[in-house]
Amino acid sequence: MPLCELNTNLPRAKVDESFVKEVSQLVASIVDGPEQGVTLQVNPDQLMMRAGTLDPVVTVAISGFSSKHFTDAMREKWVTSLTSFLSEKLGITDHGRIIVSFHLIEATHVGFFGKLASQLK
């Protein structure tokens, strides 16, 4: 399941625990999997600049070892779903200020439950 890191210059009050829960649920729905497999880190109050301004901006890094989550169709689904959700929830109407990046990791480069992901299959 995916590892997601969301960074924003918006204050913590805008990205509270209910927002984090909603993002986690959205990620699970995007990959059509259980929320228990989602790892999400949200970093508000970051000093961030995009296009020369400090206007609200969000970056989302999606990492994972399952290539099925990173096909062209899935990357498009990620971008469309996250942009729509973040625009609505955070009020960022300039979609150029919502950036999503993808990072496919080898299963031998991720560990949890005390084992490499490649050993858990």
Q: Number of structural domains, the chain?
A: 1
pTM of the model: 0.93
pLDDT of residue 1: 78
pLDDT of residue 120: 84
Q: How far is CA 100 from CA 74, 82, 105, 112, 113, in A?
A: 13, 8, 16, 24, 28
CATH number at residue 71: 3.30.429.10
Q: Which element (helix H / strand E) includes 79?
A: helix 72-90
Spell out the per-residue pLDDT of the chain, length 121, in tens. 799 999 999 999 999 999 999 999 999 999 999 999 999 999 999 999 999 999 999 999 999 998 999 999 999 999 999 999 999 999 999 999 999 999 999 999 989 899 998 898 6
Q: Which domain holds residue 101?
A: 3-119
